Amino acid sequence: MRKKGQFRISENMIVIFFVVFLLLILFIGFVEYNSYSVKKKAFELKYNEIEQLLSIIPVMPEFGCSLLGVVDEACMDTSKFNYGFSEGYFGDGLVIKVEEVLLTGREWTLYDNKADDYDDVYKLSSFVSLYYPGDKYYGVGLLRLEWYQ
């Protein structure tokens, strides 16, 4: 009788061990899934933010074509490109450049705060109208945002 009781106790301990082991594996899988889900959602939100920034920059007062503060055309004034944004204005991991695509191929860096360590680089771009006030002519440019994550 004593051996039969010890065998039952050993059998119950093994079953309990496997149940705890399975619960631990399920818990780890749940945590990993939630972690991935949170990272994915954070990426989507940041991507949307960068996408909105791409449409906002050409009409910002810092770069937009204006006469006495009144924006009269949807273009970017190249004479304002020399000032750019101060460091930390948009946070870490972002580079904003404008490149003229038709004539000279000239490139301006409006903001450069590239992250020191990054895994991926995401690039978004859009065509913009460039205005050269000194020469009083318009050109075509490419506004590029590079996002380092």
Of the candidates 57, 147, 74, 67, the one whose C-alpha atom is nearest the C-alpha of residue 110 is 57
pLDDT in tens, 83-94: 777 777 777 788
Residue whose token pair is 């991935």: 36
Q: Counting beta carbons within 10 angstroms of the beta carbon of residue 5, is it exposed (0 to 12), middle (13 to 18) or buried (19 or more)?
A: exposed
The two beta strands, 121-132 and 64-67, are: unpaired
pLDDT in tens, 35-92: 999 999 988 998 898 899 888 888 888 888 876 666 667 788 888 888 777 777 777 7
Q: What is the pTM of this model?
A: 0.73
Torsion of the alpha carbons at 110, 115, 118 and 121, rounded to the nearest 10 = -10
